[in-house]
Amino acid sequence: MNQEAIRDKLISRFGQESIVGTVPFRDQITVTVVKEKIREVCLFLRDDPDLDFSFLSFVGGVDRYPDKPRFEVVYQLYSLKHNHRFRVKTMLEEPEKGMPTVDSVTDIWPTANWHERETAEMYGMVFSGHPDPRKLLLPDHWDCHPLRKDFPIEGTDADTPELPKGGKTEVLSS
């Protein structure tokens, strides 16, 4: 199936109120799904025989600070049977208190386990229903989220005390 057919199938199944945006670029389309429906859409993408997205390439986060909604979670899919790829994503608002939350897809694609653990620690998100919500790459005692745009690239003395001190890294200004 080509990208347009997959998009149309999603829209006809879930309707405009769940599929809130589709952006084509070159030969790929990105479909944005409301947060509440993401599990349902993922299940449909995996189980529908015409789509059959059995392979999850990655789950990743995006921080669009200072734009709103601030966060995105991206799911890049591949169908081994039909040899097509597709990408869905969902937008997350930054709550007043606590962290943005989205449903985990680990039970749909077990490979999402590590991807979600990494995304959670890097962006400060909660994947609800995740079977093993520990940190993956960062030290347990670091209470910071380095891939957020408001986190300085050289780290902070309070949050990342183990990082080597010394002259600040020169970063090319754009």
22 is an interface residue for another protein by CB under 8 A: no
28 is an interface residue for another protein by CB under 8 A: yes
Q: 34 by DSSP, 3-state: which?
A: coil
Query: What tokens appear for 23 in the block?
Result: 């952006």
What values do phi and psi take at 172, rounded to 5? -60, 125
113 is an interface residue for another protein by CB under 8 A: yes
For tokens 């890049």, the residue is 76
Give whichever of 13 and 84 is closer to another protein, judged by the CB atom: 84
Any residues with CB less than 8 A from the CB of 18 and at least 6 apart, and which?
Answer: 33, 34, 37, 41
- Binders of another protein in range 68-97 (CB under 8 A): 74, 76, 78, 80, 83, 85, 87
Count CA atoms within 13 Å of residue 125 on its CB side.
31
1, 11, 20, 62: residue in contact with another protein (rule CB under 8 A): 62
Q: Which residues bind another protein (CB under 8 A)?
A: 23, 25-26, 28, 30, 54-58, 60, 62-64, 74, 76, 78, 80, 83, 85, 87, 109-111, 113-114, 122, 135-139, 146-147, 151, 153, 171-172, 174
